[in-house]
Structure 1
Amino acid sequence: MNNQSNSGNSTHTIVERNGKSPLVLDYATRPHVSQSEEDWQSPQVLDIARRRGLLIAGTAMTVTLLTGVITLRQTDSYEGAFQILVEPVTAESEQGLDPLSSEPKPSSNTGLDYATQIQVLGSPKTMKPIVEQIQKRYPEIGYGSLMDQLSISRPEDTKLIAVKYKDEDPDRVKFVLDQLAAGYLTYSQQERQSNLRQGITFVDDQIESTRKRVDTLQRQIQTFRQRNNLIGTEALASQVASQIQGLEQQRLEARREIAETQKQYNNLQDPSGAIAALAADPAYQKVLDKMREIDSKAATESTRFQASEPEMAVLQEQRNSLIPVLRQEARRVLGDKMASVGTDLSVLETRQQVLGNAQRYWEQEVQRLPVVSRIYSDLERELNVATDSLGRFLATRENLQVQAAQKEVPWQLIAPPATPQMPEDTKQRNLVLGAIAGLLLGVGAATIAERVDDTIRTNDELRKHVRLPILGSIPLYEALQRPHFLQRGIPQRADLRSDTFRYSGFSESFGSLYSTLRMLKADQPIRSVVISSPSAGDGKSTVATYLAQAAAAMGHRVLLVDADLRHPQISSLLDLANDRGLVDVLTSNLNPQQAIQRVFNLTAARVTNDPTAIVADDENLYVLTSGQVPPNPARLLSSQKMKRLSEYFHAMFDLVIYDAPPLLNLADSKLLASHTDGMILVTGLGKTSRFELTQVLDRLQTARTPVLGMVANRDPSSFADMTY
């Protein structure tokens, strides 16, 4: 068989013997998601309770029993209490000023941190003078023993503090509460006066430091504005933008003038341009007019005189004398014109350079502007914050001074201590709380056990852990777990032939498994499979046996081969003789037909040497046991003779099922799978761990072993006894 794998996507390709219909399966494990990351729904909680019921019940009973023993050993105790009003309740008193705000505070906000106040009341510093007064009468009471029996709390939505104390002696309860009440009232008077004085001192210190901070920030802003010529960041931004826009317009105008001047300069160097420049010069035109006048006069006189006559010679001489003058005038005019244009061009280029430098300067100012603005904004913000803080501190000082001038309202004892008359009945409550705590601890212990346990317990957990298809789910059949079936592994003949078993959920699950196996590749049905498992005890031999029976019951000729040459099980499961088997066929010249046994009504019967006898009988299940255990099973299964024998079985039977050894730390199954259409991996729910399964699948992928799918064995969610 040809195998193809792609490590990039963790897929495995199975190519059939005839090269048709490649089946691509991805059997890499999915990343394990712990149960703490999953949604704990009610079905999962019920499953945990069912699996860990003994742990939950044991923990709950143990905790409840311990609670009961401790409660019964406790002596009766008396509890007394008193209540102190720590804040005024009148609307006038409630509507005060918040020390940090000039606005009236709402009546619902008392401003007292009750949680902190309760901690202070129970602190060693506050309790020290009270304990000293108590020890004058009861020296055995110390701070630790007092706090163990003392409870300080705030009744919900009140301005009260409730103090409770428990002891075996009711008179001692009354005395301790009296001392606590007196001590707390004294503390309230001292604390309020001390708080006001400390508050005013603190606010004065803050005002001084904040005022210095305001002065420092004002000086920094003044220096920064002077150094950067800054009136305001918005004005500076507008000025920079205006300058850049104006310079851009001037540079455009300068470029236009340079282009025109350059064009004029180039025209002066061209004959046509030179003629135009000379035509515009009056001096040159005056000389030219004289020459034209002489030419006109010579033309007139030429009608009367010959060219050699003196009159014509005089005119020619006059004309010749004007030519140098005309040329000199032309050079003067063109030279002056070009010098003037060149000077203009140089001036314009200098202007363009100056404008460019100016524009670059203002562009640098644009780059600097955000930094300047940010620094200025930060300084202004700090100044605003400091100014606001200074204002609040000034207002707070005024409020504290007003409060200090007002009449102090001390704490009031509204429910004085009394001597308790009846002991506190806590036994029933303690027992109920102990039972609840035990149940919660039991559930917690079960949850921890579930999270620590790496075992795959349900079909859903298996489906989430692997990417292979789940070909079938075999329900947990309680009969197989009974002592006499732990040896045989399958029900007795009467059980198997009964209608109740034949149409039970357990039996039908194998029919469904075989149907699924046939539909994996419809164009070329699977003819040979290896049944293996990650480790021993997953039920692979049982699955192989019942799968063979289900296929035979559908009219197919099925050969079940016990290829587990290390710990063979098929012969004992089917009660067959194992004196000759696969090992004998591979190690000797024994004809396979002499070792194959036909199962008649699930009882062993030898097959005759005539192959037609297999076809003639109504029973279609044939078994090749393992034979004697060889010293080197892997060598036999990887031999060429095993390959030829597999091809022979493939040709003789509709389906060949090999019961192979477990995969963990053994290579037998992988060697055998190379001679078949693929492997079916049986996973025992409640036994196989995620680590074992991941390790096995990784090794199968490395060996490029074709795996058709998984079978979930002993599924507790299926119903083995269900009939239809």
Structure 2
Amino acid sequence: MVSNLNSQPPFPGGAPLPPGAITDGSGGLKAGEDALNLRQALSVLRRRWWLLFLVSAAVGSVVIVRVINEIPTYRSQFRLLVEPIASDERFDRFSDRLLGQLGLQLDYDTQIEVLISPEQMGPIVENIQERYPEVDYDSLMNGIGIGRLLETKIIEVSYQDSDPEKIKFVLDEIANGFIAYSQVEQQTGNRKGLNFVEEQIPELESRVDDLQAELQAFQQENNLLDPDAQGQAAANRLNEVREERTNTTTELREARTLKQELDQQLDLELEQAITVAALSEAPRYQTLLNELQRLETEIALESARFTASNPQLQVLYDRRDNLLPLLRQEAAAVLGTEAVGDRTEAMVASPNPIRLDLTKQLIDTTNREQTLNVRAAALALAEVEARRRVQEMAALERQHTDLERRLEVATESLNRLLSVQETYKSKPPSRECPGS
């Protein structure tokens, strides 16, 4: 008996291999297994198709029933502007401060709670019940959504229900009720604001009048026509006095140096020294010298206030110029004929015109030194006075500027209150915006 060595064992269940499944190697075996699995799955489906059909029918029926029985829900909304939009930022800030003083600033959370309170919603619910009696406050609140729209001045109100017409009617009634409430609140706020402004205006008007009178009195009391210009003039005068004092100091130093040189050259004798010293003891000479000192002091003080071309200063200059020759004449008179004779005799004995000229120059230099000393002292006082005047003008200018600033602030506040008053009087009696 001959046996076939290439024959394959049968499939489980006695199913033979298909002709195309008999191949050589492992690849042919894998293809045969895939075909077997597919055939088994088809066999199971043929035996249990009725079970799959029942499950699919049951699920489909449930879905269809739910879709048929489900009631559609609709939603709509409107928006309400609860604050006016100000076009002037400064006016808006001023109005906000004014509303803060009146306690009228808007708290959105509180405003929303007031709008949906039973007291506010009661009349709205009654109007809705005329058409939809089943609506009460609780059911209306369940369908309402209300809140501020981001950071805007707008409140958005929404309502949802299965009846679109009911939604429209309910939102219309709510909008009408909110708008009516808004109008009443606006009129109340306008009335409070107007009353407050009209109370403040007389006080500010009186404040402005008082500041104007105070500023005018201050200007008259201190002779202020142009504080800036007058302050600059005082500073310029201080610089002039300082410069004049510097020049006088230089001249005085030169006079002292010259006097020292003349003293060294002349080597004055006792008689000549007594003669020169006699000038300081002569009553009339000292009277004239004191008068010169007084004039120099007065000229220096007045120079701190007026310019050199001032008529009053010119009179003082003329008096000084007239006094100087008298001072020289008195010096000659003090020396006397006898003193002159002695000098004449000395010069005859030993003629020295140069020494005589130097002696006269010494006397003039001594007089000039004394005059410059007086002028230097007077200019020191004048500089103190000029510096005091500069400091005084600086203080007066600060006070004047402060008064002007206070007057400007009060006037600006008054003008703003008048603008607010006009705005309150011209405001329209509504503050709603179109619904959406």
Normalised by the shorter chain, which TM-score bucket? 0.3 to 0.5
Which structure shows the higher helix fraction? 2
Which structure shows the higher strand fraction? 1
User: What TM-score, normalized to structure 2?
Assistant: 0.47
Larger Cα Rg: Structure 1 or Structure 2?
2
User: What TM-score, normalized to structure 1?
Assistant: 0.31
